Structure 1
Amino acid sequence: MRTLVSPTQLRSPRGRAVYWTIFTVVMALFLLAFIFPLFWAVTGAMKDPAELARTPPTPLPTQWHPEAYGDAWSQMELAQYFLNTVVVAVGAWAFQLAVDVPAAYALSKLRPVLGNKILAMMLVTLLLPASALLVPTYVTITDLPIFGTNLINSPTAIWFPAAANAFNIYLLKRFFDQIPGELLEAAVLDGASQLRILWRIVLPISRPILAVVSILAIVAAWKDFIWPLLVFPDPGKQTLSVAIQRMQIDMPLNLLLAGLVLASVPMVLLFLFFQRHILAGLTDGSLKG
């Protein structure tokens, strides 16, 4: 297959030198763009406030203050906000899997009437800006239809709107479409119900895409700011993103940076640990025998 650089050119000494030079420069630029903000935040938190505000900034602290992380943890009471965020993220993850997996399975394998049109209408919601949905969603959770319940200051105000995610349903459906119909037909002949087929056959072989959907759900709930800001007016129930923003006025800049670093550590570790599953789930187009 012809590419921008032919195999013959790549095999020549000059071609290899040019290729590796360009590759190294591009990778260095990407690493600099992604790593430098993290490096600046981690080291900036260990500077004193005066040095952190100095112009031009110092590349490294002249005096290291690693105790800033402990001070931020205690003064900002991050333990409570970590717990609040974990509850919100885990609940949003569980609700999304409980709704999106059966919906995707039904659209993929049960073939309901007007299923393609239903999926198309779901995907159209992805074209709507999130800000356009804030007011109707807020009105809905302040007076939940049928139940007439106000969900303000309750984690369910996050869980319910996050449950039906069109993008996750689409990802799951595309993966379920690759599962051979003969495998499910054999289970039906053995007397298995659709629920049993989903639980015992489909889910075990769908672990890569389930890992992707799980990570997307947890990260989205962890980093969300606008919606938690609206539904958690009580400071004691706020998530990390909202609480840190609220405290930025009275908190020294180095402690604020330390709090931001601590808040981002779980998601960075989650991505590093599961990055192989993310790539495998997004690119897996077939089943391995």
Structure 2
Amino acid sequence: MSAPVIDPVRPTAPGSPARPGARPRRTTPARFDTALGWSDRPGPAWTFRILLCLIALGVFAAPFLTILSGAFTTNAGGSSLSFLPHDSTLLNFKVAGERGIWDYFTNSLVIAGGGLLLQLVVCTLAAYALARHRFRGQALVLTLFMLTMMLPEEVIAIPLSLVLGDVPVVHLDLKGTVWGVILPLGAWGFSVMMLTEFMRDVPDEIEEAARLDGVGELRMLWQIVLPLCGPALGVAGVLGFIMIWDQYLLPLIASKDPTDYTVTVALSILRTDPEVGSGVVLAGAVIALLPSLIVYLLLQRSLVTGIAAGATKG
């Protein structure tokens, strides 16, 4: 007696009629995965994670909302700040403008734009040389870039002030000029090391094929290496702009006159002015916050992509 033939269960294609007598298959809803491992089913763990998110939101959003509220509040005081403005007004921004906040804002834009452009060019060229070429002392150069990240600004403030007052070899006085702030920011060890690691992952076969076609160094960098390092350039651009925009000590020691100050230094001047209140200082803080916020919102996709690519690299 032959054994019965068992018909294997085969998946039913979408839209095809179900077989007679077939039991309906149970479908499991797609899980809502996040960094915290959330699921769509409420429970103690779900409640705890919601609580953690609310705490994090309060820690990061509360100061921003307080600054924004105080900037639009008449006679805002340190003990009367709230999340919602009372007696809304634009007078604080008008007074801040009369105190020259927009001139300082323009100085900051010029320095941040020029400094970021120079920084990206210098760091890209340095990273390309370190990543795609081999030479003696390469490890020493990388170590020196790493050491620049370990030195706080306060340690090099006085030597840097002396150098800016009399640049060696050329004997130029850069104090009181935008170049006195831009040139020291021309190279950043973080961007050099990050771009170096990304450029090292460019396949050698691509470079060898390009060199067989007669591609030179600059063309190799511009047309082949840089397009493959787009996420890294996005990270370097966002973090570099924020770093330059938030500079306080360098614009202070590189200036000769208060008109040379940036907006970050101007906020400290407003803070010590007895004729203005906290609302004017908070209005200046909102003005100083806008460029960094705009740059981050515009390039947040490149920032997240670059960080994710760096985390999964290798």
Short-chain TM bin = 0.7 to 0.9
Distance 1:254 1:217 in 2: 30
In the alignment, does 2:67 pair up with 1:41?
yes
Rg comparison, structure with higher value:
2
The structural deviation recorded for 1:264 is 0.6
* TM-score normalised by L of structure 1: 0.88
Structure 1 residue matching 2:176: 3-state secondary structure: coil
Distance 2:79 2:94 in 1: 25
1:202 maps to which residue?
A: 225
Partners of 1:100 and 1:164 within 8 A in 2 = yes
1:60 to 55, 63, 84: 84
Distance 2:276 2:40 in 1: 59
2:10 maps to which residue?
A: none
Q: Report sequence identity in percent.
A: 28
1:265 to 287, 290, 293: 290
Distance 1:12 1:270 in 2: 34
Partners of 1:178 and 1:287 within 8 A in 2 = no
Q: Cα gap change, 1:165/1:48 in structure 2, threshold over 3 Å: closer, same or farther? A: same
**Which amino acid in structure 2 is aligned with residue 204 of structure 1?**
P
What are the equivalent positions in structure 2 for 1:47-196 lying under 5 Å apart? Answer: 47-49=73-75, 52-53=76-77, 55=79, 57=81, 59-65=83-89, 67-196=90-219
* TM-score normalised by L of structure 2: 0.81
Distance 1:231 1:116 in 2: 32
The structural deviation recorded for 1:258 is 0.8
Calculate the aligned-residue CA RMSD, in Å.
2.4
Distance 2:39 2:79 in 1: 49
The structural deviation recorded for 1:55 is 4.3
Gaps spanning 5+ residues in structure 1: where?
1-8
The structural deviation recorded for 1:37 is 0.5
In the alignment, does 2:252 pair up with 1:229?
yes
**Which amino acid in structure 2 is aligned with residue 284 of structure 1?**
A
Comparing 179-188 and 18-27, the one that deviates more: 18-27
Distance 1:12 1:208 in 2: 32
In the alignment, does 2:54 pair up with 1:28?
yes
**Which amino acid in structure 2 is aligned with residue 255 of structure 1?**
V
2:19 maps to which residue?
A: none
**Which amino acid in structure 2 is aligned with residue 32 of structure 1?**
G
Distance 2:246 2:51 in 1: 31
Comparing 176-185 and 271-280, the one that deviates more: 271-280
Distance 2:172 2:250 in 1: 18
Distance 1:57 1:180 in 2: 56
Partners of 1:72 and 1:256 within 8 A in 2 = no
Q: Cα gap change, 1:19/1:190 in structure 2, threshold over 3 Å: closer, same or farther? A: same
Gaps spanning 5+ residues in structure 2: where?
1-36
Distance 1:238 1:46 in 2: 25
**Which amino acid in structure 2 is aligned with residue 166 of structure 1?**
G
Q: Cα gap change, 1:101/1:267 in structure 2, threshold over 3 Å: closer, same or farther? A: same
2:20 maps to which residue?
A: none
Structure 1 residue matching 2:91: 3-state secondary structure: helix
Question: Which protein has the bigger helix share?
Answer: 1
The structural deviation recorded for 1:11 is 7.7
Query: Which is bigger in relative contact order (C-alpha 8 A, separation at least 6)?
Result: 1
2:43 maps to which residue?
A: 17
2:308 maps to which residue?
A: 283
The structural deviation recorded for 1:12 is 11
**Which amino acid in structure 2 is aligned with residue 121 of structure 1?**
L
Structure 1 residue matching 2:215: 3-state secondary structure: coil
Aligned residues: 275
Q: Cα gap change, 1:286/1:26 in structure 2, threshold over 3 Å: closer, same or farther? A: closer
Structure 1 residue matching 2:54: 3-state secondary structure: helix
**Which amino acid in structure 1 is aligned with residue 287 of structure 2?**
L
**Which amino acid in structure 2 is aligned with residue 110 of structure 1?**
H
Q: Cα gap change, 1:190/1:227 in structure 2, threshold over 3 Å: closer, same or farther? A: same
Distance 1:29 1:163 in 2: 39
Partners of 1:106 and 1:112 within 8 A in 2 = no
1:220 maps to which residue?
A: 243
After superposition, give the CA deviation of every residue in 1:231-273 in whole Å (9 maximum; x if it has no partner): 1131222110112211321322211111111111111121122
